Structure 1
Amino acid sequence: MVTQPSAAQSGLSYADIVDLADKAPLVANVRIRNIIILKPEQAGTVPADHKRLFIEADVTGLIRGESGISPLVTYLYDAPLDARGKVPKLKKAQMILFARAGGRPGEIQLIAPDSQIPSTPAEVDRVKFILSALVAPDAPPRILDVGDAFHVAGTIAGEGETQIFLRTENGDPVSLSILRRPGQAPHWAVALGEIVDEAARPPEPGSLLWYRLACSLPATLPPRSVRSLAVQDAEAARADYQLVIDALGPCGRTRKSG
């Protein structure tokens, strides 16, 4: 089993980093060379308690980017002011940028206001680990919605099986299965394919599959998912879906910007 690097010093959770990495066509390690604080008439609209900076940075490593990157990049960054109302000291700082190419050579754009994070060896390892999972051939697809749910009651009390289909961005099949047997703890699993086999298991916490589920599934089973079921079967499907949600736990996002 591949072990995920431990959380680093950025303060961002696993889900936060996946959110950034999943949207960024360009991820780079940089060392900030120069900072210019833009005047209000140059900066445009800036969030309260922030200053817009024009930053020049030397690229020390390209983590993701098919088309390469200039060795010197420039970009804008809205820096939060410290308790004294000062811009933080960023010159010579090592940063990881989640970005996209800008309109001019060497110009890039951060994908979000907080997509510049401190670079440490541990953080670089964590970002690389997540990016590798995102581009792996067997990477789980993005979950868009919950589809139909089905429930089959067993022949004895307390026995039953629920299957819940999920809608994905690329159309690949993903489903949840929940099996209950009298005298046993409920067993649930996720299947990436048409067939749910006995080897299917719940996702490993902190894995990309866990993230796709924990950060995408609604808190309760949508009414449309059980619209064709009898009342008793619908109640069982809802209870089984809640079992999955509780087992996945909170997504763990901490970022305030998208």
Structure 2
Amino acid sequence: MRRIKTNPSVAAALVAACLVMGGIAASPLGAQPSSAAASQAVPTYADLADLSDAASLVIRAKVRRQAALKPERAPDVPADMVRLYIEAETISLLSGSVPIGESLTYLVDLPRTAKGKPPKLKKTEVIVFARPVPRSQTQLQLVDPSAQLVWSPQLEGRLRPILSEFVANDAPPRIASVRDALSIAGNLVGESETQLFLETADNSPAAITVTRRPGQAPRWGVSFSELVDQSARPPERGTLAWYRLACSLPARLPPQANLARNADDRARTESDYVFVMQALGPCERNRS
């Protein structure tokens, strides 16, 4: 790749961007992929939801210029990756209410090519998941070091419904933990009801109900309201409600959350929790 000769203003921007990048390493999204294969994998629903949830700005842009930072300027970047300073042109704001400029700058970590060179991104359209830098309409801080995806109509088509779900008035809240769980046997043999009350980030209500009736398959559903609705349904896979549960709940019921007193009720509570987790299925991610 041809080396870009930077003028003093661009050099200053690089320094500022490096300072911004320092805050990205502590992103709440957790560990980042260290291999090129992980970075190039097709993002799953959970990947896109992770990025969307963390971003206050989701922007479609076109790369105009790039410059690779020297290894000493990016000591935390693995050898098969490179940190690029990007200058891009805004195409559209997919999500966010913060004013942004026509030109954008940010840092991104990407896998090197098979020859060990930085990828060539000039004129490539991308989607970036970012936060604004205070007092700047041009500088961005990506929500994690690799929070840039190559734009395509298919990717934007998958992403837009996710962004719409996040800003809906009835958007399911973030799940922090299982607060309480209790199972009560009914009057008939094989009849029971289990309730799982969830702790949410904004203290809004969330509960899962599992009902069993003799001769019937167990039924379950989730409610995000004050009422514990026995007619609540399971969330469809690939929706925000599914993501909140499948990608946040622990694989096993925390023992301290189980309020059942006798052994049978405790065992049934644990079994119903496993039943729900199996019904939700795995939270598949390709980015971490």
5+ long unaligned stretches in structure 2: 1-39
Task: Please identify, of 53-62 and 41-50, the stretch whose mean Cα deviation from structure 2 is larger.
Answer: 41-50
Partner Cα separation in structure 2 for residue 105 and residue 25 of structure 1: 13
State the match for 2:155 in structure 1: 123
State the match for 2:193 in structure 1: 161
State the match for 1:69 in structure 2: 100
5+ long unaligned stretches in structure 1: 1-8
Question: 1:123-178 deviations in whole A, cap 9, x for unaligned?
Answer: 11222211110010000110000011121112222111111100111111111111
Q: Judging changes above 3 Å, is the alpha-carbon distance between structure 1 residues 109 and 69 closer, same or farther for their aligned structure 2 residues?
A: same
SS of equivalent residue, structure 1 residue 88: coil
- Are 1:10 and 1:117, in contact at CA under 8 Å, matched by a contact in 2? no
Work out whether 1:254 is the aligned partner of 2:273.
no
Deviation for aligned residue 1:41: 4.0
State the match for 2:240 in structure 1: 208
State the match for 1:80 in structure 2: 111
Runs of 4+ in structure 1 off by over 4 angstroms are none
The equivalent position to 1:11 in structure 2, one of 39, 42, 48, is: 42
SS of equivalent residue, structure 2 residue 250: coil
Work out whether 1:102 is the aligned partner of 2:137.
no
Partner Cα separation in structure 1 for residue 209 and residue 73 of structure 2: 56
Give the partner amino acid of 1:148. Answer: D
Q: CA RMSD in A?
A: 1.6
Deviation for aligned residue 1:88: 1.5
Work out whether 1:222 is the aligned partner of 2:254.
yes
Q: Judging changes above 3 Å, is the alpha-carbon distance between structure 1 residues 35 and 62 closer, same or farther for their aligned structure 2 residues?
A: same
Task: Please identify, of 35-44 and 9-18, the stretch whose mean Cα deviation from structure 2 is larger.
Answer: 35-44
Partner Cα separation in structure 2 for residue 227 and residue 116 of structure 1: 44
State the match for 1:236 in structure 2: 268
State the match for 2:66 in structure 1: 35
State the match for 1:145 in structure 2: 177
TM-score normalised to structure 2 length: 0.82
Give the partner amino acid of 1:75. Answer: Y
Q: Judging changes above 3 Å, is the alpha-carbon distance between structure 1 residues 228 and 37 closer, same or farther for their aligned structure 2 residues?
A: same
Q: Judging changes above 3 Å, is the alpha-carbon distance between structure 1 residues 199 and 180 closer, same or farther for their aligned structure 2 residues?
A: closer
Q: Judging changes above 3 Å, is the alpha-carbon distance between structure 1 residues 200 and 105 closer, same or farther for their aligned structure 2 residues?
A: closer
Partner Cα separation in structure 2 for residue 45 and residue 232 of structure 1: 52
Deviation for aligned residue 1:229: 2.0
Structure with greater proportional helix content: 2
TM-score normalised to structure 1 length: 0.91
Q: Judging changes above 3 Å, is the alpha-carbon distance between structure 1 residues 241 and 43 closer, same or farther for their aligned structure 2 residues?
A: closer
Deviation for aligned residue 1:20: 0.3
Give the partner amino acid of 2:229. Answer: D
Give the partner amino acid of 2:239. Answer: S
Question: What is the aligned-residue identity percentage?
Answer: 48
- Are 1:62 and 1:68, in contact at CA under 8 Å, matched by a contact in 2? no
The equivalent position to 1:134 in structure 2, one of 161, 166, 188, is: 166
Partner Cα separation in structure 2 for residue 105 and residue 202 of structure 1: 42
SS of equivalent residue, structure 2 residue 226: coil
- Are 1:10 and 1:118, in contact at CA under 8 Å, matched by a contact in 2? no
Q: Judging changes above 3 Å, is the alpha-carbon distance between structure 1 residues 186 and 77 closer, same or farther for their aligned structure 2 residues?
A: same
Deviation for aligned residue 1:82: 1.8
Question: 1:29-87 deviations in whole A, cap 9, x for unaligned?
Answer: 01000111223344453222122211110011111221221101111122211222121
